[in-house]
Amino acid sequence: MSVSKIMPRKSIPGYRKHSAGKQAFVEWQGKRHYLGEYGTPESRAAYDKFIAQIMAEKAERSARAVNGGAAAPVAYKTKHVVIADFLKGYLDYAAGKYARSKPEFWSSRAIARIWVGRCGGRPTTEIMPQMLDALLADMSQENWSRNHFNHQLSRLKRMIRWGVRRGLVPPDAWHFVSTINSIRAGEAVEGRVLAESEEVRPVAWGDIRNLKRHVAPIVWSMINVQLLGGMRPGEMCQMRPCDIDMSDPRVWLYWPRQHKNKWRKKPRVIGLGWRAQAFLRPYLEGTAPDEYIFTPKKRMLEDRKRRRENATTKRRPGYQFSLPKLNPYYSTNNYRMTLVRAIEIARKSGSQISEQWHPNRLRHTRATQVAKRRGEKTAALVLGDNLTTATKHYIKEDMVKIHKEVARAMG
């Protein structure tokens, strides 16, 4: 059951989009309050401020009723805020903050689901060490690895800190949760030792090659471009012509608009040699500079063209097909699930694929190839990993030079 179904529907108004335009609004007590353009950080911040004001006024009214009309001390404003309301407010905030990182939002929602299922109707003033211990015990039953459990623990702390700053959670709750340490290897949580994360290994080239006839041509190109560029799936999915410097025909330089270490002010460039360019060129034709190169629409058109070529009956004159509403680009989740389903089909049909693998492992395959020919430091630079420790002696110009050398030599 989703958190939205567990939580009271009318306790906190939702962040909504006007059907006739791009304006975001929140409806409260029969009146609409417009927040600005839908989906922007500014409108999300305005919504967050509006909800915090509602919750504070609601708590104040409840406290006045209890105290016979006298204003309640600030410390008791959270007395009538229940955990479910607090978590719904946080998830609305997280939906905007992590709009570009859906897994981060989903992970936060998983914690909220567990917490609401245990004690969503209790007030936030009851967040005590005993409640937190019970919550951790429930989290330990989710079959998470120790590393993911520690990440979830950090998210839990962020949730409570957010609630404290907005007056929805008493400050004592932050002191309680801050005393919880990360789980060390071999340490038990409520008598259960959490499993360690499996080491990420490179994908065998045979497993990649044998997948070709089970995926669409555009997906096969995506696999090869990601492999040859040593990219993360998100970097490959968001490729646009305007982000690629094609001034040097031998090596194109791709500067991702968004990448993992952008917030650290670290540059990220990806060299694309002749092999990667060969997979990209068919999808660059007819693509506007600011449009995504790999899109579900292009895949659907490929599928329909292939079915039309293999059809045994003629299409009636004047027939026109329409495309359903599709995302403007492949999300990392869609890309991953496409490969997962293709691998399952391939293994059932008898193809020689030794194991199920996910797109992130393609980076490790590329790292192994580059490390064997150019060394570990160059491999770390090409993949954009550990730039501070492994390649701190490189400056930006050296980084571009090394990317070009590797792309020329290895495609």
Model confidence at 113, pLDDT cuts 50, 70, 90, reads very high
State percent of the chain over pLDDT 70. Answer: 83
| pLDDT at residue 8 is higher than 60 | no
- pLDDT, residue 2, reads 38
Q: Domains along the chain?
A: 3-193 (no CATH), 205-312+324-410 (1.10.443.10)
Model confidence over 216-264: pLDDT tens digits?
A: 999 999 999 999 998 999 999 999 999 999 999 899 999 998 888 777 7
Cα–Cα dist 85/192, whole Å: 31
Model confidence at 70, pLDDT cuts 50, 70, 90, reads low
Mean pLDDT of all residues belonging to the chain: 81
Q: Are 326 and 295 in contact (CB under 8 A)?
A: yes
- pLDDT, residue 75, reads 46
- pLDDT, residue 28, reads 84
- pLDDT, residue 399, reads 60
Please report where in the chains the tokens 């915090």 appear, as a residue. 52
Model confidence over 335-359: pLDDT tens digits?
A: 999 999 999 999 888 888 888 898 9
User: Taking Cα atoms as reference points, which of 89, 90, 169 lies closest to residue 131?
Assistant: 169
Cα–Cα dist 204/91, whole Å: 40
Lowest mean pLDDT among 163-167, 303-307, 366-370: 303-307
Model confidence over 180-198: pLDDT tens digits?
A: 889 898 888 877 888 888 7
- pLDDT, residue 59, reads 64
Model confidence at 12, pLDDT cuts 50, 70, 90, reads confident
Model confidence at 318, pLDDT cuts 50, 70, 90, reads low
Mean pLDDT of 5-17: 63
- pLDDT, residue 339, reads 92
- pLDDT, residue 3, reads 39
Mean pLDDT of 30-54: 82
- pLDDT, residue 252, reads 94
- pLDDT, residue 98, reads 84
Cα–Cα dist 256/217, whole Å: 23
What's the 3-state SS for 131-164?
Answer: HHHHHHHHHCCCCCCHHHHHHHHHHHHHHHHHHH
| pLDDT at residue 319 is higher than 70 | no
Lowest mean pLDDT among 263-272, 348-357, 391-400: 391-400
Tokens encoding 382: 């090409």
Higher pLDDT, 5 or 172: 172
State percent of the chain over pLDDT 90. Answer: 26
| pLDDT at residue 9 is higher than 50 | no
CA 177 → CA 74, 110, 159, 169, distances in Å? 21, 18, 10, 12
Residue 169: what residue type? V
| pLDDT at residue 321 is higher than 70 | no
Model confidence at 388, pLDDT cuts 50, 70, 90, reads very low
Under 8 Å CB-to-CB from 33, ≥6 apart: which residues? 25, 26, 27, 50
- pLDDT, residue 60, reads 65
